[in-house]
């Protein structure tokens, strides 16, 4: 069991045939005198209230411990994503606290191609130190069309992560790389780490305007590069953030618009984001390029639209 934060818990992986159920965590029940499967988890899923799943004794106590440790703000609700096997037994679960209704949370998760990645984004927002920054992020993801495109769009037409859900995968990977780099040194405050990770997660948010979910260019994308939409997509929420946390809002504007040609960045995290973007892009292209080649191949090329990229590896 790995508790990621006060708002996120994951346990168990299994190769058996399973499916997921998402809903309110309505209760944990323990049958006295029973040792192995006298415990049950009750979940109120969308249009299916009162679903009951069997838990082992160990699972029951692990979930109960996680429930006791989780923080649930007054204006939010506790949800659970349950992985269930063919016999209705619990294989894995994720606890998450959200300010959304069950139907909306189910909608956003359902739009994504990787539910673990969607839940990881929710978990990240839940652990942000600044309530103002947290509210900014919740507000962004409360927009149905924006949320849908962010979790469902490819990251490009024919370059890197050019498949459904690629935008979320790439954005989350960049955010995780930035976090790993910042955690290695003591020069960043918790709030600067948080804000830089937010900027990393949102660095390609303009692609929600320039690409359609099927990877085709929109009218905007045909005429304007996605970088120019970064601030316009978040304009309303950014305006509100300036009222509650101006320093963060301005820093976010800077990191989302800074370019290498601008010279050394005022906020060092901007450099980390650019580096993570390039590494994530390169790794995915290399994975594509070598996917069908034997291990003794050390270099190859891959076409990305009108360009050809040469890539090497060491085995």
- Do 31 and 77 belong to one domain? yes
pLDDT tens figures, 190-224: 999 999 999 999 999 999 988 878 777 777 767 77
- Do 59 and 201 belong to one domain? no
CA distance linking residue 126 with residue 313, whole number of Å = 38
Average pLDDT over every residue of 211-240: 83
- Do 139 and 180 belong to one domain? yes
Average pLDDT over every residue of 113-120: 94
Phi-psi region at 88: left, alpha or beta (left = phi > 0; alpha = psi -120 to 50): left
pLDDT tens figures, 269-279: 999 999 999 99
- Do 181 and 128 belong to one domain? yes
Task: Return the percentage of the chain with pLDDT > 70, whole number.
Answer: 92
Whether this model's pTM surpasses 0.85: yes
pLDDT at 79 over 70: yes
Band of residue 296 on the pLDDT scale cut at 50, 70, 90: confident
- Do 132 and 69 belong to one domain? no
Domain of residue 304, residue span: 117-315
pLDDT at 290 over 90: no
At 285 the pLDDT is: 81
- Do 56 and 140 belong to one domain? no
Band of residue 268 on the pLDDT scale cut at 50, 70, 90: very high
- Do 128 and 264 belong to one domain? yes
- Do 76 and 184 belong to one domain? no
Band of residue 33 on the pLDDT scale cut at 50, 70, 90: low
pLDDT at 81 over 90: yes
Number of domains in the chain: 2
- Token representation of residue 161: 């992560």
What is the residue-averaged pLDDT of the chain? Answer: 87
- Do 6 and 151 belong to one domain? no
Structural domain contains residue 109: no
Structural domain contains residue 112: no
CATH number, domain containing residue 313: 1.10.3210
pLDDT tens figures, 151-173: 999 987 777 877 899 999 999 99
- Do 137 and 19 belong to one domain? no
- Do 142 and 224 belong to one domain? yes
- Do 47 and 146 belong to one domain? no
């Amino acid at each position: 069991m790995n508790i990621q934060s006060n708002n996120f818990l994951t346990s168990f992986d299994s190769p058996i045939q399973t499916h997921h159920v998402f809903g309110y965590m309505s209760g944990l029940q323990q049958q006295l005198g029973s040792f192995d499967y006298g415990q049950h988890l009750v979940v109120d899923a969308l249009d299916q209230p009162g679903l009951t799943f069997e838990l082992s004794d160990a699972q029951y106590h692990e979930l109960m411990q996680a429930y006791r440790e989780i923080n649930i703000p007054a204006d939010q609700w506790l949800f659970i994503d349950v992985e269930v096997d063919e016999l209705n037994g619990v294989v894995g679960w994720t606890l998450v606290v959200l300010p959304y209704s069950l139907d909306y949370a189910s909608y956003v998760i359902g739009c994504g191609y990787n539910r673990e990645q969607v839940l990881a984004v929710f978990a990240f927002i839940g652990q942000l130190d600044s309530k103002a920054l947290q509210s900014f992020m919740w507000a962004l993801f409360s927009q149905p069309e924006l949320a849908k495109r962010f979790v469902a769009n490819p990251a490009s037409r024919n370059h890197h992560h050019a498949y459904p859900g690629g935008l979320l995968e790439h954005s989350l990977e960049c955010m995780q790389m930035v976090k790993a780099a910042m955690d290695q040194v003591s020069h960043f405050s918790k709030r600067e780490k948080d804000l830089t990770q937010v900027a990393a997660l949102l660095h390609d948010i303009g692609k929600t305007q320039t690409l359609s979910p099927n990877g085709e260019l929109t009218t905007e994308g045909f005429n304007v590069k996605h970088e120019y939409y970064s601030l316009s997509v978040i304009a309303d929420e950014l305006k509100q953030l300036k009222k509650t946390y101006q320093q963060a809002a301005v820093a976010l504007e800077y990191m989302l618009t800074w370019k290498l040609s601008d010279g050394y960045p005022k906020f060092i995290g901007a450099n980390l984001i650019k580096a993570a973007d390039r590494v994530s892009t390169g790794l995915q292209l290399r994975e594509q390029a070598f996917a069908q080649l034997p291990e003794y191949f050390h270099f190859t090329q891959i076409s990305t639209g009108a360009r050809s990229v040469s890539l090497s590896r060491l085995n």
